[in-house]
Amino acid sequence: MAHPGTARSAAFFDLDKTILARSSTLAFSRPFYAGGLINRRTVLRSAYAQFVYLLGGADHDQMERMREYISAMCTGWDVATVQGIVADTLDHIVRPMIHAEAVELIDRHHAAGRDVVIVSSSGAEVVEPIGAILGADKVIATRMVVADGKYTGEIAEYAYGPGKVTAMAALAAVEGYDLASSYGYSDSITDEPMLAAVGHPHAVNPDKALRRIAIERGWPVLEFTEPGERVGRVRRPAVAAGLVAAVAAGALLLAYRRRFRTA
């Protein structure tokens, strides 16, 4: 617990299309296919979802249908199987997706004495090992329920939209972060609450809605264009037994967005 008078700033980063050039969840479709967890049709649908995601042309309902389909495929997957597949492919899949500009920005925040916190709606089991690669100090992510070694599809903690702000405030209270002097980075209009919660918000490769708000509010707009370049400087984590990289969790989480948004 932080003590009075020890408030400090932190840097809060969204993950997909902010630090990474693609969706961390959908990027693992081919390794899952190779491991026998999904079929070829699912791989093709994931590839299509990546395409529309990168173009920024998919509407909410379209992405929801895609995520619900993927989530249905993931429900009941064995955690140990997913763990083994992702542990074997994590570095190969993730490292080429990392924006070099994000790495440099993380380095600058660390040099300034700030903790770096990744805030993602994807499952903690995939976000945490990516955070280890990046040298992040803390991770905020969605926590999924596991029963008998399998994913149930239920959510224990959901880090999406306003839920990110709630988690950020809770972490700030524990770690002594002053949100008013902290920094935030995201690409999506869904993270407007997260950006508005800090004193120094930044729009990174923003979608149209977030770009419009950033311009209206005078938020800096950053363009990251170099995935896979100079990422040798990123830390390479040891692959330990505790590395439960469940991309399935990220897919399962996102299917519940509508339910939590309207709750």
* Residue 220 and residue 203 in contact, taking contact as beta carbons nearer than 8 Å: yes
Q: Considering 14, 115, 187, 191, which one is annotated as catalytic?
A: 14
Q: In the annotation, is 16 catalytic?
A: yes
Tokens representing residue 205 in the block: 């490769």
Cβ pair 216, 45 in contact under 8 A: no
- Residue 148 annotated in active site: no
Which of the following is catalytic: 16, 115, 187, 191? 16
Q: Report CA-CA distances (Å) from 103 to 56, 99, 118, 135.
A: 23, 7, 12, 9
Strand, helix or coil at 130?
A: helix
Residue 228 tokens, joined: 């896979």
Q: Report which of 25, 90, 47 is spatially closest to residue 255, judged by C-alpha positions.
A: 25
Task: Provide CB contacts within 8 A for 39, sequence distance 6+.
Answer: 33
Active-site positions read 14, 16
